[in-house]
Chains A and B, each alone.
Chain A
Amino acid sequence: MEWVNAIVQGTLLGGLYALFAAGLSLIFGVMRLVNIAHGDLIVLGAYLGLSVTTILGLHPLLALIVVVPAMAGIGYVLQRGILNQTLGKDILPPLLVTFGLSVIIQNALLETYSADPQKMNAGALETASVSLGGLSLGVLPVMTFAIAVVVIALLQWVFYRTALGRAFRATSDNQEIAQLMGLNRRHIFGLAMALALAVTAIAGIMLGIRTSFDPSIGGGRLIFGFEAVIIGGLGNLWGTLAGGVILGVAQTIGAKIDPGWQLLAGHLTFLVILAIKPNGLFPRINE
C-alpha cells in the first residue's frame, strides 16, 4: 500500500511538473525557442500571485484572475520587444538572451522581495485531504493535477481546433509561407508566448501554494519542466503530461527508498529514457 501511495502521490506531483513544462513545450513547438528563463518566469508568476494576495487580500486561486492576464501581457511584450529579434537560423542568440533574462528576473525579484522564502496562504485548502480506498489524497495536489489536465486539454483544443492554433502550426511548419498567407509571424509568436506565460502563471501560483519559494528556485523548476518535455517527446502536449507524471512518480519512489534519492531518481529516470529513446516516449516533431 505504501508503494501504491508513492505512485499516486508521484502522479499528482506530475501534474505540477506538467504545468511547469506545458509553456516550454508550446514555445518550442511553435518557434523552436528554448526558453532558459522559463523557470524564473514561473517564480515571477508566484511572486505576482503573492503581491496580489497581500495587496488585494484575495485567495491565491482568485489571484489567478489577475496574474494570468498580467503574465500573458508580459509574454506578448517580451516576445515582440526582445525575443523576436533573436530568432533566426542560429539557435545560440535566443539561448543567450533568455539566459540573460533569467539572471535579470532573479535579481529583480531579489531586489523587490528579498531572498527570504515566501509562501502563499491558501487557508484550509493546504491541509485538506480526502480518503480514498485506504489512501489519503491532499485536495491541493488533486486539484493541481486536475488543473494540469484541463490546461493541457485546452491547449490541445486551441492547437488543433481553432484559427489561432492553425496559425501556430502553419507558422511552425514554414514561417515564410505562413507570411504569404498574411500571418505576421512576429504577432503570432507574441501570442504564443502570451499563451505560454498564461500557463506559467497558473504553474507559479500552484507552486507557491504548495511549497515555499524564493528568487533562486527558478533553475530547478526549469530542469523539471525540461525533463517532463523531453521524456514525453517534443511537441506532444499529452506526452508532456505523461512526462511530468513519470518524473513525479520516479521522484516519490526514489524518496520512498531513501529520502535523499528523490531528485536523483528523477534525473536518473530522465537519463535512462533519453538514452533509450532520445526523441522521448511520444514524439510528434520529426527533426
Chain B
Amino acid sequence: MPEPILKLNGLEAFYGDFQALYGIDLEVTEGEVLAIIGANGAGKTTLMRSISGLTQNQPSMVQYLGNDIGALRADEVAARGIALVPEGRQLFPSLSVEENLIIGGQIGRKGPWSLEAVYKLFPILQERRHQQSTSLSGGQQQMVAIGRALMANPDLILFDEISLGLAPIIIKDIYDALPGIIGEGMSALIVEQDITKALSVSQRFYCLQEGRVSLEGASATVARGDISRAYFGVE
C-alpha cells in the first residue's frame, strides 16, 4: 500500500457556533481517486474548504505529505501542490479565459500542465482564449475552472461539484476527460452529488452524513442499498 499523501485526523470544522464536521478521518494515497458523496449540507464543501486552507483548522487535523497543513492559509496550501476546482466554477470575471488559466499557473510549480497542454485537452478554450470568461457557456466555464487548477501542476486536485448546473451531455464530456486529467500520477478528491458518476471514476469513496463519515469502501463493489442508508440516514 503506497503512502497516504493526504491524511485527515479527526477533522472538525465550525461556522461560528455551528459545527459542520465532526471528527473526519480520511486518507488519500498517491495516484488514487477518491469520491466524497453525501446529501446537501452533509459537509462536503466544508471538507474541501478545510483541506484547501479557506477554512483554518488545528494544524495536525490536515496532514499533507507528512506535514501539518491544517492552519496554513490557502495560498500556502496551494504552493504545496493542492489545487481546488471550486463549486460553481468561480472564474475571475475581469480576466480573459487565457488570463484565468495563466493566473492558475502563476504559482510556478513544475509539471506536465501548461497553456498548450490545457488547450490540447479542451481545444474550444483556445478558440475562446481572448473572450471574457463569463461569456462562455457553463460547460466551457467548467473547463476553464479545471484548466486553471491544472495549471498549478498540483499533486492533489480537489473537484467540488463539477457537474452542478450543467447539462447531462456536458457532464458526460467532462467525466470522459477526467481519466486523462488524473492519469498523470495526480491524486484526486471528487465531491459529487451524482453517486453513479462519482463511483464510476473513483477507486474508493467516503459517504458523509451530517458532518460524519457514514460509510466508506471500494467504489466498484459497494452495494446500492448500503449507500442509500449511508446517504439519507434511513434504515
- A interface residue numbers (CB < 8 A to B): 163, 166-167, 169-170, 172-174, 176-185
Contacts and interface: CB of A to CB of B under 8 A. Distances in A.
B94 A167 contact: no
B92 A169 contact: yes
Interface residues of B, number: 24
Interface of B: 52-54, 73-75, 78-79, 83-84, 86, 90, 92-95, 99, 102-104, 106-107, 148, 152
Contact of B102 (A166, A174, A178, A179): A166
Nearest to A170: B92
Contacts of B99: 166
A174 B103 contact: no
Contacts of A178: 92, 103
21 contacts: A166-B95, A166-B102, A166-B103, A167-B106, A170-B92, A170-B103, A173-B92, A173-B95, A176-B54, A178-B92, A178-B103, A179-B53, A179-B75, A180-B52, A180-B54, A180-B86, A181-B78, A181-B103, A181-B104, A181-B152, A182-B79
A179 B54 contact: yes
A180 B84 contact: yes
A169 to B, nearest CB: 4
B192 to A, nearest CB: 19
A185 to B, nearest CB: 8
Contacts of A172: 94
Contacts of A180: 52, 54, 74-75, 78, 83-84, 86
Nearest 10 CB-CB pairs, A to B?
Answer: A179-B74, A182-B107, A169-B94, A182-B78, A173-B92, A170-B92, A184-B75, A177-B90, A182-B75, A179-B75
A174 B152 contact: no
A166 B107 CA distance: 13
Nearest to B102: A166
Nearest to B107: A182
B95 A179 contact: no
B169 to A, nearest CB: 27
Contacts of B74: 176, 179-180
